Amino acid sequence: MDAKKLEKFKKKLLEERMDLLSELQRVTSGEKSKDMTEAKDSVDLADASYSADYSLAWTEKINRQIREIDESLDRIKDGTYSVCQICGEDIPEGRLEVKPNAKYCTQCKEDLEKRGEIQ
């Protein structure tokens, strides 16, 4: 992949990373506002518990996405971006447009999904 395209994907990844960091900040600041100690009855406690569980799951998802973006940025630096980590073939540019942090070509991703190794 040429330097101009790499720069375009790097910019896209960095923008996505900033969006995720903003979302993470929003979610974690919301956690502080729903404290279980403020619950007045069992319904309030259940609501606070659900909110805490949801926030934790959402935070974990966002953190995973940030790690994947960081890994993609590292691959740009070391020259392995857009190369499937399984077969070594180029990942089609169209796939990277849709999912710029893709690690696998379409065929290898489908194979992994069929074997249940990834979702």
Long-range CB contact pairs, 15-24, < 8 A, 24+: 16/65, 16/69, 16/100, 16/101, 17/66, 17/69, 17/70, 17/73, 20/62, 20/65, 20/66, 20/69, 21/66, 23/62, 24/59, 24/62, 24/63, 24/66
Q: How far apart are the first and last CA of the chain?
A: 27
**111 pLDDT band (50/70/90 cuts)?**
very high
Query: What is the CATH code for 3-29+39-114?
Result: 1.20.120.910
pLDDT at 93: 95
In the predicted structure, residue 52 carries a pLDDT above the cut 90: no
Domain ranges of the chain: 3-29+39-114
C-alpha distances in Å from residue 53, one per residue of 27, 28, 56, 118: 12, 12, 5, 23
More confident: 54 or 95: 95
pLDDT at 40: 72
pLDDT at 31: 57
Question: What percentage of the chain exceeds 90 in pLDDT?
Answer: 70
The predicted model gives 30-44 an average pLDDT of 62
pLDDT at 46: 74
More confident: 51 or 117: 117
